[in-house]
Amino acid sequence: MTGRPTITQLAAELGIAPSTVSRAFTRPNLLKPETVALVQKAAEAAGYVPNHHARALSTGRAGAIGLIVPDIANPFFPPLVRAAQNYASDLGLSVFLADTDEDANREDRLISRMAPQVEGLIVVSSRLPSARIRQIADSQRVAFINRDVAETYRVLLDTTAAIRSALTHLSELGHRRVAYVGGPPQSWANKQRRSAVDNFSKVHALEVTHFSADPGTYDAAKALADSVAASGVTAVIAFDDVIAHGLMGGFAAAGVDVPKELSVIGCDDTLATTTFPALSTIAVNVGAAARRAVAALSENPGSTNLTGARIIFEGTLVLRGTTGAVRPTSSPLTLEPELDHPSARGVQTGRGSDS
Amino acid sequence: MTGRPTITQLAAELGIAPSTVSRAFTRPNLLKPETVALVQKAAEAAGYVPNHHARALSTGRAGAIGLIVPDIANPFFPPLVRAAQNYASDLGLSVFLADTDEDANREDRLISRMAPQVEGLIVVSSRLPSARIRQIADSQRVAFINRDVAETYRVLLDTTAAIRSALTHLSELGHRRVAYVGGPPQSWANKQRRSAVDNFSKVHALEVTHFSADPGTYDAAKALADSVAASGVTAVIAFDDVIAHGLMGGFAAAGVDVPKELSVIGCDDTLATTTFPALSTIAVNVGAAARRAVAALSENPGSTNLTGARIIFEGTLVLRGTTGAVRPTSSPLTLEPELDHPSARGVQTGRGSDS
DNA sequence: CTTTTCTCTGCAAACGTTTGCAAAACAAGG
DNA sequence: CCTTGTTTTGCAAACGTTTGCAGAGAAAAG
Secondary structure of chain A as H, E, C letters? CCCCCCHHHHHHHHCCCHHHHHHHHHCHHHCCHHHHHHHHHHHHHHCCCCCHHHHHHHHCCCCEEEEEECCCCCCCHHHHHHHHHHHHHHCCCEEEEEECCCCHHHHHHHHHHHHHHCCCEEEECCCCCHHHHHHHHHHCCEEEECCCCCCCEEEEEECHHHHHHHHHHHHHCCCCEEEEEECCCCCHHHHHHHHHHHHHHHHCCCEEEEEECCCCCHHHHHHHHHHHHHCCCCEEEECCHHHHHHHHHHHHHHCCCCCCCCEEECCECCCCCCCCCCCEEEECCHHHHHHHHHHHHHHCCCCCCCCCEEEEEECEEEECCCCCCCCCCCCCCCCCCCCCCCCCCCEEECCCCCC
ipTM of this complex: 0.87
Query: A64-157+286-314 sits in which CATH class?
Result: alpha beta
Closest residue, chain A, to B79 (C-alpha)? A73
Arithmetic mean of pLDDT over chain A: 90
Distance A7 CA to D21 C1' (A): 21
The per-residue pLDDT for B352 is: 37
Q: What does the domain layout of chain B look like in residue ranges?
A: 7-50, 64-158+286-314, 160-284+316-349
| B79 CB-to-strand C distance under 7 Å | no
**B327: confidence class by pLDDT, cuts 50, 70, 90:** confident
| B25 CB-to-strand C distance under 7 Å | yes
Nearest CB to B51 within list A81, A116, A249:
A116
CA distance B277 to chain A (A): 9
What value does the mean pLDDT take over residues A153-176?
A: 97
Are A49 and B113 an interchain contact pair (Cβ–Cβ within 8 Å)? yes
The per-residue pLDDT for B329 is: 52
Nearest CB to A56 within list B53, B77, B253:
B53
- Helices H / strands E in chain B, number of each: 12, 13
CA distance A3 to chain B (A): 8
Chain A residues closer than 8 Å to B256 by CB: none
Q: What is the Cα–Cα distance from A355 to A348, expressed in whole angstroms?
A: 15
**A329: confidence class by pLDDT, cuts 50, 70, 90:** low
Q: What is the Cα–Cα distance from A141 to A136, expressed in whole angstroms?
A: 9
Query: Are the C-beta atoms of residues A181 and A211 closer than 8 Å to each other?
Result: yes
| B26 CB-to-strand C distance under 7 Å | yes
What value does the mean pLDDT take over residues A131-140?
A: 94
What value does the mean pLDDT take over residues B259-287?
A: 94
Phi, psi angles (nearest 5°) of residue A325: -65, 150
Are A86 and B99 an interchain contact pair (Cβ–Cβ within 8 Å)? yes
Please, how many CA atoms are within 13 Å of residue A237, restricted to the half-sphere of its CB?
35
A109 in B contact zone (CB under 8 Å): no
What are the tens digits of pLDDT across the range B163-222? 999 999 999 999 999 999 999 998 999 999 999 999 999 999 999 999 999 889 999 999
**B328: confidence class by pLDDT, cuts 50, 70, 90:** low
CA distance B197 to chain A (A): 26
**A303: confidence class by pLDDT, cuts 50, 70, 90:** confident
Considering only residues A354 and B204, tell me which one the structure prediction assigns the higher pLDDT: B204
User: Which B residues in the span 199-218 are in contact with A, Cβ-Cβ below 8 Å?
Assistant: 218
Distance B114 CA to D20 C1' (A): 31
Query: Are the C-beta atoms of residues A321 and A262 closer than 8 Å to each other?
Result: no
Query: B160-284+316-349 sits in which CATH class?
Result: alpha beta
Cβ atoms within 10 Å, residue A131: 9
Are B85 and A98 an interchain contact pair (Cβ–Cβ within 8 Å)? yes
Closest residue, chain A, to B96 (C-alpha)? A96
The answer regarding whether domain A160-284+315-349 maps to CATH 3.40.190.10 reads no
What are the tens digits of pLDDT across the range A227-286? 999 999 999 999 999 999 999 999 999 999 999 999 999 999 999 888 888 999 999 999
Q: Which nucleotide is nearest to A10 (CA to C1')?
A: D16
Please, how many CA atoms are within 13 Å of residue B335, restricted to the half-sphere of its CB?
7
**Predicted confidence (pLDDT) at residue A113 exceeds the cutoff of 50:** yes
CB-to-strand C under 7 Å, chain B 83-102: none
**Predicted confidence (pLDDT) at residue B330 exceeds the cutoff of 90:** no
Q: What is the Cα–Cα distance from B167 to A246, expressed in whole angstroms?
A: 30
What value does the mean pLDDT take over residues B50-59?
A: 95
One fold for both A7-50 and A160-284+315-349? no
B77 in A contact zone (CB under 8 Å): yes
Q: What is the Cα–Cα distance from B343 to B124, expressed in whole angstroms?
A: 32
The architecture that CATH gives domain B64-158+286-314 is: 3-Layer(aba) Sandwich (3.40)
- Quickly name the fold that domain A7-50 has: 434 Repressor (Amino-terminal Domain) (1.10.260)
CA torsion, points A293, A294, A297, A300, in degrees to nearest 10? -100
The per-residue pLDDT for B335 is: 41
